[in-house]
Amino acid sequence: MNPPALKPLLITGGGRGIGRATAIMAGAQGWAVGVNYVGDAASAEGTVEAIRSAGGKAMAIRGDVAVEADVIAVFEAVQSAFGPLQGLVVNAGIVAPPSKLADMELARLKRMFDVNVLGAYLCAREGARAMARDRGGQGGSIVLVSSGAARLGSPFEFVDYAGSKGAVDTLTLGLAKELACDGVRVNAVRPGPIRTDIHASGGQPDRAERIGATTPMGRPGEAEEVAEAITWLLSDAASYVTAALLDVTGGR
C-alpha cells in the first residue's frame, strides 16, 4: 500500500524563528512544505534540510512578499512541486527600531506596510485563489501570524508595526467569512514576546527576555510554542475554527 500523499503547505518567512519552527513541525505532521524566504538562503535551506532529515518533504523558494510578481511565482513553484495547495501560513514580516511615530520617516512607514500589510494581503489573496472550492481548489486552511501588539498599540516602540498587525487581524476576520462556504478556514495567531531573532533586527536583542519577565507567566515564549498553535489551526482538529484570533502571549 502506498503511503498517503503529503499535503502541500506554503510558509512565508519560513527560514527562521516562528516560520522555521512551524515548517519543521508541519513537516513532521504530514505536510510537504514550501519554505519561502527573501534574503537568507542559508537559513531557508537549513530549514529544508531539517525537514528532509526527519523524513519529510520540503523546498526553499525565494520571493519578496511585497512584490506581486514574486508572490505569484512562489505560489506557482510550490504547487508545481507538491500539487494543489491545502495550507498557507502568512508569517513573513518585519519590525524596526523603537521610535515614536512623530520621529518615523516615510521610508520606514512604507516598508513596514508594504511587507506586513500589502504582503499579507497578496499572500492571502493567492491562497484564496488556490484553495477556494468555487475556483477549483481543494479547500484548506490559512493561518496569518499577527501579534499581541495589534491590541496593545506598542507606544514609544513601534506603533507602525502594531498598526500593520491590526490590519492582519481585520484581514483574518473578513477573509474567513468570505471563504467559509468554499472550504477554507482562516485564522490568526497573535504571539507575544517570543524568543526569536526578530528582536535583534529591531535593535532590541534582549526584548523577549525583558518583556517576557513582565507577563503573567513570567517568561518569554518559544517559537515552538507558537508553532504548536499554528499547526493545530492548520489541522483537521480545528475543523470548526475560523475567524479566530488566538493569543499566544503568556497572558500578556
- Using CA atoms, how far apart are residues 182 and 135, in angstroms rounded to an integer? 9
Coil, helix or strand for 190? strand
Positions annotated as catalytic residues are: 161
pLDDT-derived band at 197, boundaries 50, 70, 90:
confident
pLDDT-derived band at 199, boundaries 50, 70, 90:
low
DSSP notation for 97-138: ----GGG--HHHHHHHHIIIIIHHHHHHHHHHHHH-GGGT--
**What pTM did the predictor assign?**
0.94
- Using CA atoms, how far apart are residues 53 and 108, in angstroms rounded to an integer? 39
- Is residue 2 over pLDDT 70? no
- Is residue 202 over pLDDT 60? no
Top-confidence residue, 44 or 212: 44
Mean pLDDT of 124-133: 98
Mean pLDDT of 232-243: 98
Cβ atoms of 115 and 93 closer than 8 Å: yes
Q: What is the spatial order of strands in the sheet that 140-145 belongs to? A: 57-62, 31-37, 7-11, 87-90, 140-145, 184-191, 245-248
Among the residues of the chain, which ranges form H helices? 17-28, 41-53, 68-82, 106-113, 119-131, 149-152, 159-179, 198-201, 207-212, 223-234
Domains and CATH numbers, the chain: 7-248 (3.40.50.720)
Percent of the chain with pLDDT over 90: 90
Among 78, 87, 127, 90, smallest CA distance to 7 is for 87
- Using CA atoms, how far apart are residues 83 and 79, in angstroms rounded to an integer? 5
Q: What is the DSSP letter of 202?
A: T
pLDDT-derived band at 131, boundaries 50, 70, 90:
very high
The answer for 136, left when phi > 0, alpha when psi is -120 to 50, beta otherwise, is left
Phi, psi of 222 (to 5 degrees): -110, 150
Q: What is the DSSP letter of 58?
A: E
Mean pLDDT of 20-29: 97
Phi, psi of 183 (to 5 degrees): 80, 15
